[in-house]
Amino acid sequence: MLQEQVIYRVLTAALETGADFAEIFAEDKTSGRLEMVGGMLESSLSGRDYGVGIRVLQGNFSVYAYTNDSSEENLIDTARSAAAAIRGGAAGSRVMDLRRTVTDNRHYIGIMPDSSQKKRNIELMRRAHSTATAYDPSIAQTKIHAMNQLQNILIANTEGLLVQDIRVYTRLGISAVAEDGDQKQSGFSGPGAYAGHEFLESLDIEEHARKASRIAVTMVKAGNAPSGRLPVIIDNGFGGVLFHEACGHGLESTAVAPGSSVFAGKIGERVASPLVTAVDDGTIANAWGSLNIDDEGAKTQRNVLIENGILKGYLIDRMGSRRMGMPSTGSGRRQSYKFAPASRMNNTFISNGTSTREEIIANTEYGIYAKSMGGGSVNTATSDFNFAVQEAYIIRNGKIAEPVKGATLIGKGIDCLSKIDMVGNNLEHGQGMCGSVSGSLPVNCGQPTIRVSEMTVGGRKGE
Amino acid sequence: MNIEEFQEVLFAKGREAGFTEMEIYYANGRSTSVSVLKGEIDAYNIVESGGLSFRGLIGGKMGYSSTERLDNESIAYLLDEAGSNAEVLENEEPEELFAGSEHYHSVNTYSASLIKTPPDQLIEAALAMERIALNADHRIDMVRRSAASVSESEVLISNTKGLNCHRQHSSASASIYVLAKESKDAKETVTGGWFDFSLRSFDDIDLEAVALTGVREAVSKLGASTVQSDNYPIIFRNDAATSLLSSFASVFSAESVDKGFSRLKGKLGEQVAGSNISIIDDPLMVNVPSSKAFDAEGSATARHELIKDGRLLTFLHNRKTARKAGAANTANAAKGGYKGLVEVSHHNLYIAPGAASLAEIIRKTDRGILIVELQGLHAGTNATSGSFSLAAIGYLIEHGEIVRPVNQITVSGNFFELLNGIEEIGNDLRFIGSCTSPSLKVSSLSVSGA
């Protein structure tokens, strides 16, 4: 993407005012998105994103600049204007010899995405539409999208790093809307992977279409969820968004380093029930949130965050490493060249326990069974989190009873993790997009079925 | 290649490739932003970027593509992709390009000097706000972010039918976000923030007011606890009401209506809200950040009343939805940046303010909850059904007075029912984005707490 001599000269310009580190992140990304509404292909979009981000560090002071114009002249100008913000640094830093390193690719990509797959993808989407529509007469509308992305990156820095990687993403999203009189409810299923077109070919599309329709149909006929503090069973897979919000964001060095996370200074302390072991693993082959190298060029790792309830580690990027005096955990990520990297999650999950789903349900006299989760958010400073349940049922006398809609779960991270009193043996991962300071990123959220002994459920029914 | 050159080559090559009509939508922006932490500069961003969206008619269908790189390679990419995208489309409503409106209102949204604000002034401002906040109250544990920025942007739409629209925007802003604790060892942390902006000059921003408001927003939440689960009268302060309205604003889009994603379908001319409710989209307001003279198709914008005294008068349209519905185009074509399709969105959507101040509304409330912050809006609202169930932060009101802060609650209801149950509308509209609401009081909503 960029010549080595150009990189060298740009990094040199970035150090002119005495910065102690400079980095280039160049990106050339093409993406395609097909959208089908009610079985008709309504839109097909293609785009090419291209740009270069330059970061200059002096101690804890970070300057970030980006541009779409990658001519040498403009890159040097951009580096100089970034460097101009650094003043009073000790002169004398210099660029080390750039050592081009080869990235070990852990992810098999079968078929690279390109526009020749459009027609085949449309056939697959039409299958999703037919299955979703045939599921129940109350299905009134479907919206299906298929997306692919091919991201070429180059990262170089003044420590001598020069590395390139190619990242491939493929995802299908199926949304079904059920109508019952004046009521409308939607259901969604969105499988995705760090993989090529072969992912869609091997996917059980019918199963995902039926899932989206099942949620919509069940919820349109459901009554309102109760309000108050109840035991909550959260099913496996994307249910791991609970951990992602309740705890994961609070373990990112972006929040921990300045001391604005409730988890700051708690390594070695008990922060969760002894049943909880939680991991962030960027290395899982072909997983939606995996990377060979993070967006600072560091190899991704398997990071144990909590082991048997004890806090073991944080998610740390380069700035976090400087501020905390701890090594990077390969967790520096950014949506694109338009964002400075920040510590972010990859594939975060709670490890398997020993209970079965059936045992957990049978052991619950009255509570909520959250079968399918929506998204959520957290304030890391207060650890207040919230998330929406897509599909929920009442548990009564140890059995799944009637469905309920509109259940929102809220709580405080440490409090909620301490109240996990049963952990299943059926770990699965779900795919989501995580939005934060460095943009919107693919992440996996995973867990086995778990039970929280008490959570605040926000429904509409006074019970 | 500069943009004029690029357009010339693109259209020439496009004609050779069989495109009969072509259009570019070009946007670019520059900004400088600074944030400080503990008396030092924490982040300093200088950015400049742009991109171009192409659309063209080929084989009777409109194909779209985009690029951020203006070079020869991208011209081939744009034409190939737009061609193959057009080929697979199945929608039967043909789109067509627009030659332009006869008359455009003049909307002044640009100050050429604003982007030249010296970076040192931004740094000083961020440092000053941090200092003011830390000195204002001993319970401020940390200023998590104190930031200042200036930015400018431009949009150019130009096509083979003669359309040529250009506009520029500029703005400056200052913001603060603080953490407060009762004491150093206290377990409970609360947060709060504030921001203000100017479209003319950074000097117009009252930095002290931003810092002190941020402080007040945080410390007033100290000692918060939940409430008993029950139905309560609820006052949404203007910022909370704004986030709620924003989450449901898409129900006014004719595109959502047409595709079955809005419950307002088939309700034109009907009473859909209380007679005290009027909802207006006015892109021509002065000193409002999203004002503009033309939409994403180059149509001249105008003020429209969507709901008047509770009656639904029109949906928001672009050229395509207007033609399909046999309605007048309201010039609400929008693009999600330069990458997206032409869709439908509001410009400055707002609920018409009432006469009462927030203080009066509180005084007239015997028992209720004032909500100042709603969380998880992206997941806890369903624009299709209108339902919402959201984590909230606010204050308990008893006998017309705020008695204590409240947290760990959710508030649930339905947007369409809400529009019919508003008892009081505040006089406190604050235009900060493209969708704005004054404070609203509703007689009863379900609250989940203890």
Q: Which residue of B230, B338, B389, B417 is the best one to mutate when testing the A interface, meaning the one whose CB has the most A CBs within 10 A?
A: B389
Q: How far is CA A374 from the centre of its chain?
A: 13
Domain ranges, ordered by start, for chain B: 3-219, 222-245+353-449, 267-351
Which residue of A lies nearest to B2 if distances are taken between CA atoms?
A69
Q: Which residues pair with A428 in a beta bridge?
A: A447
Structure tokens at A151: 């991201």
For B185-209, how does the pLDDT look when each residue is reduced to its tens digit (9 = 90+)? 888 899 999 999 999 999 999 999 9
Distance from CA of A354 to the nearest CA of B (A): 31
Does residue A463 have a pLDDT over 50?
A: no
Residue of B402 and A91 predicted with greater confidence: B402
Residues B371-389: pLDDT tens digits? 999 998 888 888 888 989 9
Cite the beta strand spans of A295-447 per DSSP E.
302-307, 310-311, 332-333, 342-343, 347-350, 366-379, 384-396, 399-405, 408-412, 420-423, 428-436, 439-447
Beta-carbon count within 10 A of B116 CB: 10
- DSSP characters over A114-151: -GGGHHHHHHHHHHHHHHHHHT-TTEEEEEEEEEEEEE
Above 80 in pLDDT, residue B292?
yes
> What average pLDDT score do residues B3-32 get?
96
Could you tell me what percentage of chain B is helix, strand and coil, using 3-state DSSP and rounding each to the nearest 5? 25, 40, 35
CB atoms within 10 A of CB B263: 22
Measured on CA atoms in the order A322, A328, A331, A337, is the torsion positive or negative?
positive
Using the beta-carbon criterion (under 8 Å), do B384 and A185 form an inter-chain contact? yes
- Check residue A92 and give its pLDDT: 59
Q: Around B334, how many Cα atoms within 13 Å sit in the side-chain half-sphere?
A: 19
Spatial distance between the Cα atoms of B315 and B297, rounded to a whole number of angstroms:
17
Q: What is the pLDDT of residues A101-147, one digit of tens each?
A: 888 889 999 999 988 899 999 999 999 999 999 999 999 999 999 99
A447 has pLDDT over 60 = yes
End-to-end CA distance of chain B: 63
Furthest-apart CA atoms within chain A: distance in Å: 73
Residue B37 CA to residue B143 CA, distance in Å, equals: 7
Cα separation of the two ends of chain A: 62
Nearest CA in chain A to B388: A406
- Using the beta-carbon criterion (under 8 Å), do A462 and B68 form an inter-chain contact? no
CB contact at 8 A, A69 and A79: no
Tell me the two tokens of residue A69: 């114009």
Note whether B385 contacts A387, CB cutoff 8 Å: no
- CA-to-CA distance for A104 and A98, rounded, in angstroms? 18
- Closest C-alpha among B139, B217, B213 to residue B174: B213
Residues of A in contact with B40 (CB under 8 A): 60-61
Q: What is the mean pLDDT of residues A355-376?
A: 95
Give contacts of B374 with chain A, Cβ < 8 Å: none
- Residue at B270: amino acid letter: E
**Alpha-carbon dihedral sign for residues B134, B136, B140, B141:** positive
- What's the mean per-residue pLDDT of chain B? 94
Nearest CA in chain A to B230: A462
Say what the alpha-carbon torsion angle B230, B236, B240, B243 is, to the nearest 10 degrees. Answer: 90
Residue A390 identity: Q
- The tens digit of pLDDT for each residue in A157-179 reads 999 999 999 999 999 999 999 99
Phi, psi of B289, deg, nearest 5: -60, -35
Distance set, CA B138 to CA A63, A83, B134, B216 (Å): 31, 36, 7, 12
pLDDT at position B169 is 96
Q: Is B21 in a helix, a strand, or coil?
A: strand
A229: contact with B, CB 8 A cutoff: yes
- B391-411 pLDDT per residue, tens: 999 999 999 999 999 999 999
Give the pLDDT mean for B45-49. 90
Count of CA atoms in the C-beta half-sphere (13 A) of B306: 26
Flag whether pLDDT at B433 surpasses 70.
Answer: yes
CA B344, distance to chain mean position in Å, is 14
Length of chain B, please? 450
Task: For residue B361, report the phi and psi dihedrals to the nearest 5 degrees.
Answer: -60, -40
Per-residue model confidence as pLDDT tens digits over A75-87 = 999 999 999 888 7
Cβ-based burial of B110 (10 A; exposed 0-12, middle 13-18, buried ≥19): middle
Mean pLDDT of chain A: 94
Q: A384 and B408 in contact by Cβ < 8 A?
A: yes
Q: Are the CB atoms for A241 and A432 separated by under 8 Å?
A: yes
Q: Is A12 on the interface with B (CB under 8 A)?
A: no
In angstroms, rounded to a whole number, what is the distance separating the alpha carbons of residues A357 and B382? 29
Task: Choose among A141, A16, A178: nearest CA to A91.
Answer: A16
Contact call for A386 and B51, based on CB within 8 A: no
Q: What is the pLDDT of residue B9?
A: 97
Residue that is written with structure tokens 């091919």 in the block = A150
* Domain definitions of chain A by residue range: 228-458
Do B154 and B168 form a contact (C-beta atoms < 8 A)? yes
| Pick from A140, A262, A412: CB nearest B260 | A140
Q: Which residues on chain B are in Cβ contact (under 8 Å) with A50?
A: 67-69
B-proximal residues of A, 345-384, CB under 8 Å: 374-377, 379, 381-382, 384
Whether A455 contacts chain B with CB within 8 A: no
The minimal CB distance from A63 to the residues B44, B84, B411 is found for B44
Beta-bridged to residue B197, according to DSSP, are: B173
Distance CA B366, CA B344 (A): 42
Q: Evaluate if pTM is beyond 0.80.
A: yes
How many whole angstroms separate alpha carbon A150 and alpha carbon A170?
Answer: 9
Pick the CATH number of B3-219 from 3.40.50.720, 3.30.2290.10, 3.80.30.20, 2.60.120.260: 3.30.2290.10
Task: Provide the pLDDT for residue A90.
Answer: 59
Chain B residue numbers with beta carbons less than 8 Å from the beta carbon of A184 are 263, 384-385
Q: How far apart are alpha carbons B396 and B319 in whole angstroms?
A: 48
Distance from CA of A270 to the nearest CA of B (A): 16
CA atoms within a 13 Å half-sphere pointing along the CA-CB vector of A126: 11
Q: What is the pLDDT of residue A88?
A: 60
Q: Which of A64, A141, A386 sits opposite B375 (nearest CB)?
A: A386
What angle, 0 to 180 degrees and rounded to 10, lies between the N-to-C axes of helices A4-14 and A72-84? 20
Query: Which percentage of chain A shows pLDDT scores above 70?
Result: 98
Alpha carbons within 13 angstroms on the beta-carbon side of residue B409 total 32
| Nearest in space to A333 (alpha carbons), one of A376, A375, A300, A377 | A300
Q: Cα(B9)–Cα(B54) distance, rounded to whole angstroms?
A: 13
Select from A44, A225, A412 the Cβ nearest to the Cβ of B88. Answer: A44
Q: Is the dihedral of CA B198, B204, B207, B210 positive or negative?
A: negative
Tokens of A246: 């309740």
Those residues whose C-beta lies under 8 Å from the C-beta of residue A1, and which sit 6 or more positions away, are A26, A28, A70, A152, A154, A164
CB atoms within 10 A of CB A18: 15
Q: What is the mean pLDDT of residues A388-406?
A: 95
At B445, which amino acid appears? L
Q: Give residue-wise pLDDT tens across range B215-262.
A: 999 999 999 999 999 999 999 999 999 999 999 999 999 999 998 888
The tokens describing A139, both together, are 């299905």
Is beta strand B401-414 parallel, antiparallel or unpaired with respect to B387-398? antiparallel
- Comparing CA positions, the residue from B161, B85, B176, B166 lying closest to residue B126 is B176
- The closest of A429, A262, A437, A276 to A346, measured between CA atoms, is A429
Can you give the C-alpha Rg of chain B in angstroms? 24
Q: Does A1 touch chain B (CB under 8 A)?
A: no
Pairwise CB contact (< 8 Å): A48 & B380: no
Give the single-character DSSP code of A52. E
The CA distance from A232 to B289, in Å, is 44
The answer on pLDDT for B48 being more than 60 is yes
Tens digits of per-residue pLDDT, A309-364? 999 999 999 999 999 999 999 999 999 999 999 999 999 999 999 999 999 999 99
Helices A205-220 and A118-134, interaxial angle, to 10°? 40
> How far A32 CA lies from chain B's nearest CA (Å)?
9
| A69-73, B25-29, B260-264, range with the lowest pLDDT | B260-264
CB atoms within 10 A of CB A76: 18
Mean pLDDT within A53-58: 95
Residue of B nearest to A241 (CA): B379
Verify whether the Cβ–Cβ distance B380 to A386 is below 8 Å.
Answer: yes
ipTM of the complex: 0.89
Cβ atoms within 10 A of the Cβ of B403, count?
A: 11
Q: Which of A18-22, A84-88, A91-95 has the lowest mean pLDDT?
A: A91-95
Least confident of A26-40, A405-419, B236-250: A405-419
Whether the CB of B179 is below 8 Å from some CB of chain A: the reply is yes
From residue B288, alpha-carbon distances to A42, A350, B299, B376 in Å are 34, 47, 20, 27
Coil, strand or helix: which one is A76? helix
Nearest to A150 by CA among A1, A22, A48, A12: A48
* Residue A372 confidence class, pLDDT cut points 50, 70, 90: very high
Over residues A215-235, the pLDDT tens digits come to 999 999 999 999 889 999 999
